[in-house]
Amino acid sequence: MSAPEGSRPAPLRNHVRELWQAGRPSLSVLATIPSVQTVQVLAHAGFDDIVIDLEHGPIDLATAHAMIVATAGTPAVPYVRLPWNLPWLAKPLLDAGVLGVIFPMSRNAEDAAAAVRAARYPPRGERSWGPFYAPLRWDRSMQDYLDTADDAVIVALLIETADAVRNIAEIVATPGVDLAIIGGGDLATDLGHHGRADHPEVRAAIARAEEAILASGVVLGGAAPRSTEQANEMIARGYRHVSLGFDWALLQRGVAGLMTGLRR
């Protein structure tokens, strides 16, 4: 399905980018269960993106590829969360068709620049050629994909350390960074308040990061696992990427609700 000779291909569409451009939030979920079927259910449930979690989920590359394919036919955009901030880890997931890459433990502008280079082809970056399966996922010719992928792929950084908060202005000033996600759990741990994201020191650090991200033009992201009220409050404060939780937590919550009140 290539463009007519002499014409430019239509840009590779990214539903999430379109939402942000319209000033609307994207609703996300993290998939940790290595299951095509789980992704199919989530993709048809209304989420705008599904983050395939290679950082904390027991998911290998082959399974991740199948999970990416399972989003086809839905608006849900496949992301991947890498296990570490090593840009080369992004290569096979991009080539399989993800349109968003989340780099964890991004501490400074150097980390941010390396992430951007990993997700863009030369001359804008250092991504090497080899997208054998991404064009198939997006129903495009190889050339159409190569010509438009740079602008479709979202580069996201996790802001989850004290270093990242100190360097936040430089991080979000890095050209090519699209999304900065504040990770309250790891930030609390890094500040010595493990499991206490509501500690005043953690809340103050989150507020500093929020202020800098909102002033930069980079999209502000975060997690609202507790309730829709929490998500709505974050959206009102300027969050445009809101994660509603993990697949395992949604499953656990649903089962708990089903069991509550039963008489045995």
Rounded distance between C-alpha atoms, residue 7 and residue 142, angstroms: 15
pLDDT at 261: 83
Q: Up-side HSE of residue 41: CA atoms within 13 Å toward CB?
A: 11
Residue 3: what residue type?
A
Could you read off the pLDDT tens digit of each residue along the chain, which spans 264 residues? Answer: 444 445 555 679 999 999 999 999 999 999 999 999 999 999 999 999 999 999 999 999 999 999 999 999 999 999 999 999 898 999 999 999 999 999 999 999 999 999 999 999 999 999 999 999 999 999 999 999 999 999 999 999 999 999 999 999 999 999 999 999 999 999 999 999 998 989 999 999 999 999 999 999 999 999 999 899 999 999 999 999 999 999 999 999 999 999 998 888
pLDDT of res. 3:
44
What is the DSSP code (8-state) at residue 178? -
Closest CA to 198 of 189, 188, 213: 188
Would you state the pLDDT for residue 9? 54
Looking at residue 7, its pLDDT comes to 54
Half-sphere exposure (Cβ direction) of 75: Cα atoms closer than 13 Å:
12
* pLDDT for the residue 8: 58
Mind spelling out the 3-state secondary structure of 188-242?
HHHCCCCCCCCCHHHHHHHHHHHHHHHHHCCEEEEECCCCHHHHHHHHHCCCCEE
**Distance, CA of 136 to CA of 241 (rounded, Å):** 27
Tell the residue number behind the tokens 């399974």, with chain if given.
Answer: 63
**247 SS3 class:** helix
Question: Catalytic residue positions?
Answer: 56
Q: In terms of Cα–Cα distance, which of 78, 127, 120, 122 is closest to 100?
A: 78
Two structure tokens written together for 65: 């590829």
